[in-house]
Chain A
Amino acid sequence: MLLPKFEYFEPTTLEEALRLLSELGGNARVLAGGTDLLVRMKLKVERPSQLISLRKVPGLSAIIPRDNHGVTIGPAATAADLSKNELICDRFTPIALAAGRLGAPVIRNRATIGGNLVNARPAADLPPACMVLDATLKLKSTHGEREIPVGEFFRGPGETVIEPNELLVSLFVETPAPWSGGAYIKLGARKTLEISMVNVAVLLTLQEPQGLIVDAKIALGAVAPTPVRAFAAEEFLIGRQPSEKVFAEAGAIGVGLCQPITDHRGTMEYRCLMIETLTSRALKQAHERALGWKP
């Protein structure tokens, strides 16, 4: 499979990357891991005239703990890095789990979180995980920078608020409160190398061990044009004593928010039913992890 022709740039500083991005105009694309972009180019769905590689821009793949209050993740951090990083596994579990389910190891070694977010596929693994953790995305251009909550980032399949001259330069995620636990479940046909039919990320925070739910975040993928938060279900959960029944009810509420499609991977009906089941299952898993929270 041949790639169409393009010009290749390898900036060595962030400034240079931003400058190229603004100078080259709308037909240039940022190249991170290439697991999405190069595929789309081979399939002739995309035909950029220039590629700007991030590989020589320093610092973009770093995962940096911010004291105790959060973590900054570089956009070029790979799914493999994220799935194996101790801090991410420990405190930002949904991201680690979702990263560990993306593609297969050979893909995870290249695929970046930035690429996964900007790519904005409704079924992508990392967006729901970032959403339950309320990640903030920093977008930068030669004109300045802005911060966007991940929940406001996606606009439709393949569409985000990012401007052609902007680069996603980092994600910041605040450390969840004590007694929080996360989960991520992906439903596909095979056990790996799968694009989700439905996926669910959850973060649950308890008041204290065995206590009430003080915070709940649920995000669903592949159920609407963009990943969505199940706010009503979250509200329902807050203040309640965790139980299987409560989780099941929350799952049922979650379904109400979704408008899944029927495609060759699955029907709308089945997807809806699975949202319900998997949401309650993810809540249960998150709850168990919350109970095992350690300072």
Chain B
Amino acid sequence: MKKIIQLTINGGPVEAAVSPNQTLVQFLRDDLGLTGTKHGCGLGDCGACTVILDGKAVNSCLVLAVQANGSDVLTIEGLAENGNLHPLQQAFVNKGAIQCGFCTPGMILSAKALLDEKPNPTEPEIRTAISGNLCRCTGYQKIVEAIGEAANVIRGREEL
């Protein structure tokens, strides 16, 4: 039996009927067409499906869609504002932090959750924050640099 859920996704209200055994990532990708959230394993091992759920980075393959009822979900599609890239997105582009790009949405969201909590993270803090997000292409270095750069940009903006 389907259940009706109401939630906020990328700032807008969404109401939908979902099956209890539908995961959040399936709901986002299959029902809403928000395919920016990736699916790499379904078991919490890779982090490709990371979204921000009520302020926290989580693996959306291990959250039921019904569990997101009433919640606030941010996916990669909701990060840019008014057509302007989020500083994290811009830094990932500029710093070469993206290769195949399959880990990128999840990486960026884990990084966003970090910067929301700790605007001035150390390198070990950055590395820890993305340690549940596997990347096979980059060796992480440029990702870590990009997150550091985005943190600077965001802090710079706030000081203005």
Contacts and interface: CB of A to CB of B under 8 A. Distances in A.
A109 B20 CA distance: 22
A276 B38 CA distance: 43
- Secondary structure at the A interface, as helix, strand, loop or mixed, is loop
Given A34-B67, A106-B57, A8 B20 contact: yes
A7 B42 contact: no
B63 A104 contact: no
Interface string B2-26: 0100000000000000011111000
A107 B57 contact: no
B115 to A, nearest CB: 13
Interface in B55-103: 56-59, 61-64, 66-67, 69
B44 A107 contact: yes
Nearest to B21: A3
B141 interface: no
Interface string A47-61: 000010101000000
B20 A106 contact: no
A1 B131 contact: no
A1 B61 CA distance: 9
A8 B20 CA distance: 6
B43 A39 contact: yes
A110 B58 contact: yes
Contact of B42 (A42, A80, A107): A42
Given A6-B21, A7-B20, A110-B62, A105 B110 contact: yes
Contacts of B43: 1, 39, 42-43
Given A1-B61, A8-B3, A39-B62, A106 B67 contact: no
Contact of A39 (B44, B129, B131, B132): B44
Contacts of A3: 21-23, 64
A264 interface: no
B22 to A, nearest CB: 8
B128 interface: yes
B148 interface: no
A193 B134 CA distance: 10
Nearest to B18: A8
A53 B20 CA distance: 11
13 contacts: A1-B41, A34-B67, A39-B43, A42-B43, A53-B66, A104-B47, A104-B133, A105-B128, A106-B47, A106-B57, A107-B44, A109-B57, A110-B62
Interface of A: 1-8, 10, 31, 33-35, 38-39, 42-43, 51, 53, 55, 80, 103-107, 109-110, 191-193
